[in-house]
Structure 1
Amino acid sequence: MFGISLGDDGAELRPLEPWNAEEYLAHIDRCREYVGTHISLADRATDLSSATAFLQMYADKAATDSGRIYGIWVDGTLIGGVLFRIFDAQSGSCEVGCWLEEAFAGRGLVTRAIGVLIDWAVEVRGIHRVEWRAASGNTASLKAARRLGMVRDGVLRKSHPHRGERVDIEVWSVLAPEWRARRG
């Protein structure tokens, strides 16, 4: 199994696969309320079958090169994750996303993990545009996009239904030349 260290705080990024479904479900159960405030990820895994199906969907996306999902583990415990929700190498664009247990927020884990994904997308796969979408009320997510050097492209007003309400979605992006200049 491979893992990428996210620093010297015991954090590691590695693939999140269907065989991790039980661990993933336990993690989601711990953070369901917090994560579910802004994203529907928490609503997608309510039992072992749905958790397995969700992770299998991303295994299938990885097999077709259209998406991927990775977990963030700290000292051997799954505490969050990052993903390529959409990955389109042919058009040179992708969309990244994240989630994290509240107890681990503010440590830079998401910023470091998404940085690994963007590095790989840009430098290995030749992606030109990396996009991040987040509800306007999700200030932690928007701050992470800023820390990554992303630019706010605009707001899709009331474009996303979430738990019975329509919410504004902000679109942020970084282009490959901007990412390279920032990293260089």
Structure 2
Amino acid sequence: MLSSPLTAGAELCSLEPWQAAEFATFIDRHRAHLAPWLPWATSITDVDGARHFLQRYADAQRNDEGRLFAIRLDGALIGGTVFRIFDVPSGVCELGVWIAPEAQGRGLVTAAARRMIDWAFGVRGMARVEWRAAPHNLRSNVVAERLGMTREGVLREVFPLHGERQDLAVWSLLASEWRTAAG
């Protein structure tokens, strides 16, 4: 399995369909924590659902249209990152993250997001990385700020979740800003 170290004991690595049972268990254990922010946290309820979700991203990666990775701490799945949208012709991608509550506050999401952004800009030549988060998801919005992203505005009632229309704050980072920040 390919992996990239993040911190001592933590790594960013592939999360593939053959790992569906582990992913389903992770979701089941952390559903209450993830569900307010992630629609798939309530729609994935078994191993088959997890496999289908992971296969969708495996297919997206094969087609160069998305990517999904695990954040592991001492080998255990504790979170993940995703390029939900990866549009090479336009040079725009959308980065998303999630993490178990017991792993919060260690800088792992920020480290993983930085690795993903470095790759998107430096290897793939993307022009823009977007980050979308509920305006009241304070942790996610703080990470976007920490990454040097600019809050562009709020998409009002852009999608349904749990029977209610949800707003999303849109953050972005341009390749030129990332290169400047990296110095």
**Alignment TM class, shorter chain as reference:** over 0.9
- Residue equivalent to 1:5: 5
Secondary structure in 1 matching 2:106: coil
Tell me the secondary structure at the aligned position of residue 23 of structure 1: helix
Q: What is the rounded CA distance, in whole Å, between the counterparts of 1:44 and 1:65 in structure 2?
A: 25
Equivalents in 1 of 2:152, 2:40: separation in Å? 24
Unpaired segments ≥5 residues, structure 2? none
| Residue 151 (structure 1) aligns with | 150
% identical aligned pairs = 51
Cα deviation 1:127-179 (Å, max 9, x = unaligned) = 00000011111111111100100000110112221111112100000000101
Deviation at 1:41, TM superposition (A): 2.5
Letter in 2 for 1:4: S
Shift of 1:104: 0.7
Q: Using the alignment, how far apart are the partners of 1:69 and 1:117 within structure 2? A: 10
Residue of structure 1 equivalent to 2:74: 75
Does the 8 Å contact 1:38/1:137 carry over to 2? Answer: no
- The size of the alignment, in residue pairs, is 183
Whole-angstrom distance in 2 between the partners of 1:104 and 1:165: 29
Q: Deviations along 1:23-53, whole A, 9 cap, x unmatched?
A: 1111111111101112213123210100000
Match of 1:183 in 2: 182
Partners of 1:11 and 1:25 in 2: CA distance: 21
Q: Name the counterpart of 1:27.
A: 26
Residue 171 of structure 2 corresponds to 172
Moved over 6 A (4+): none
Residue 116 of structure 1 aligns with an amino acid whose one-letter code is R
1:161 aligns with 2:160: yes
Query: TM-score, normalised on structure 2?
Result: 0.98
1:97 deviates by 0.2
Say which SS state the counterpart of residue 133 (structure 2) adopts: strand
TM-score normalised by L of structure 1: 0.97
Deviation of 1:89 (Å): 1.1
Residues 44 and 51 in structure 1, CA contact (< 8 A), matched pair in contact too: no
State whether residues 87 and 95 of structure 1, in contact with CA within 8 Å, keep that contact through their aligned partners in structure 2: yes
Aligned residue for 1:53?
52
- Quick check: 35-44 or 118-127, which moved more? 35-44
Equivalent position of 1:63 in the other structure: 62
Segments of structure 1 that go 5 or more residues without pairing to the other structure are: none
SS in structure 2 at match of 1:6:
strand
After superposition, give the CA deviation of every residue in 1:84-106 in whole Å (9 maximum; x if it has no partner).
00001111110000111111111
